Amino acid sequence: MKHRPCLASTKRPQHGCCTVSFLAGVHHCKRDAVHKFVRRILALPYLPLDAIPTAFERLRRRVSNEQLVQLMDYVDSTWMKSSIWPPSSWCTYNVAVRTNNDVEGWHRDLNAQAISGELQFYLLVPLLHRQATLLPIQVKLVAEGMQTGT
């Protein structure tokens, strides 16, 4: 995004919403506003599921920049109205685990048991079977709050 010279003095910003570089006298207001807008889009998954469409439409009504219109069209078609990734699949409101750290931890433990990936296939199958038999117990413990996801 091109910066335009700020009309404010290089000694003192004239706009409360802007960040002015005193050395270069460059106006960053537009860039800061775009950054804040994109952060609001990225915050949508943290809202309750029924509040996501309303918040998205409220954001969409505020857009006048052509690039942001294209971004909102992309978010709308890919995430809001998608049959593959509907908001219910990416909404993390009230979700205890929001990352894949638990899966990575399980994978690290499995690799340790499998001798860092050097395990023969005929030895790996029983190891995976043993993991699969433990899964219902782990799900029950996690549901009862007695164990974390790992």
Mean pLDDT of the chain: 78
Residue 149 has pLDDT above 70, yes or no: no
pLDDT digits (tens, 9 = 90+) for 92-139: 898 876 677 777 888 888 888 877 667 788 888 988 898 889 888 888
Q: Which of 95, 110, 121 is nearest to 150 (CA)?
A: 110
Mean pLDDT of 27-47: 84
Given this model, what pLDDT does residue 74 score?
Answer: 94
Q: Which residues contact 59 (CB under 8 A, 6 or more apart)?
A: 37, 40, 41, 72
pLDDT digits (tens, 9 = 90+) for 61-93: 999 889 999 999 999 999 999 889 899 999 989
pTM of the model: 0.53
Given this model, what pLDDT does residue 110 score?
Answer: 82
Return d(Cα 101, Cα 108) in angstroms, integer: 10
Residue 44 has pLDDT above 90, yes or no: yes
Confidence of residue 147 (pLDDT cuts 50, 70, 90): low
Sketch the domain layout of the chain as residue ranges: 1-35, 43-90, 101-143
